[in-house]
């Protein structure tokens, strides 16, 4: 891993995938880029997945991250939501493989614990701590952005201190 790794955090979903890219310099982490990749429910599933795949690949090529941090799949009682999340994750995993990008997956609990100190934190608490830890004033367009930055932060903490999840 380079001295100042670039970490791409991803909050995967079919309708809106949050991307947060950080540069880690020791304990300091700087936001390089955030983006929300939206797909339209009016498009066919293959077209939506293609757009997500192409967008993620373009960001990988543009920012050349050293690692991608992705929230692991969670249990959902809604089968349709779980299936669409799995499909979105699948194209992100494919983008990692095709671009030979290292992947690290974290549970939602691990990410929340690393960022807030509470594995059961709310999305609001995560967003607040992400802003505080990264010293940014941004009012996030959606929680998808703050969640992606939280995944990247979690990875940054793991790089700097292997004892932290």
Active site residues: 11, 71, 144
H/E/C letters for each residue in 62-75?
HHCCCEEEEECCCC
Tokens of 56: 């993620």
Angle at 93 between CA 28 and CA 1, to 5 degrees: 35
Q: 123: number of CA atoms within 13 Å, CB side?
A: 9
Residue 14, Cα to own-chain centre: how many angstroms? 14
User: Which strand (E) or helix (H) includes residue 18?
Assistant: strand 16-25
- Which among 137, 130, 94 has a CA at the least distance from the CA of 20? 130
Measured over the CA atoms of residue 162, residue 4, residue 102 and residue 110, the dihedral's sign is: positive
């Amino acid at each position: 891993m380079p001295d100042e790794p670039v970490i791409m955090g991803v909050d995967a979903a079919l309708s809106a995938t949050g991307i947060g890219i950080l540069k880690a310099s020791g304990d300091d982490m700087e936001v390089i880029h955030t983006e929300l990749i939206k797909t339209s429910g009016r498009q066919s599933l293959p077209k939506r997945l293609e757009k997500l795949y192409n967008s993620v690949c373009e960001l990988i090529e543009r920012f050349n991250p050293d690692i991608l941090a992705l929230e692991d799949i969670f249990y959902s009682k809604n089968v349709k939501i779980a299936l669409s999340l799995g499909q979105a994750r699948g194209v992100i995993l494919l983008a990692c493989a095709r671009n030979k990008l290292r992947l690290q997956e974290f549970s939602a609990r691990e990410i929340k614990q690393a960022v807030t100190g509470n594995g059961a934190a709310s999305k609001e608490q995560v967003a607040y701590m992400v802003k505080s830890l990264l010293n940014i004033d941004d009012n996030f367009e959606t929680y998808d952005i703050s969640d992606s930055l939280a995944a990247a932060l979690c990875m940054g903490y793991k790089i700097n201190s292997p004892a932290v999840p």
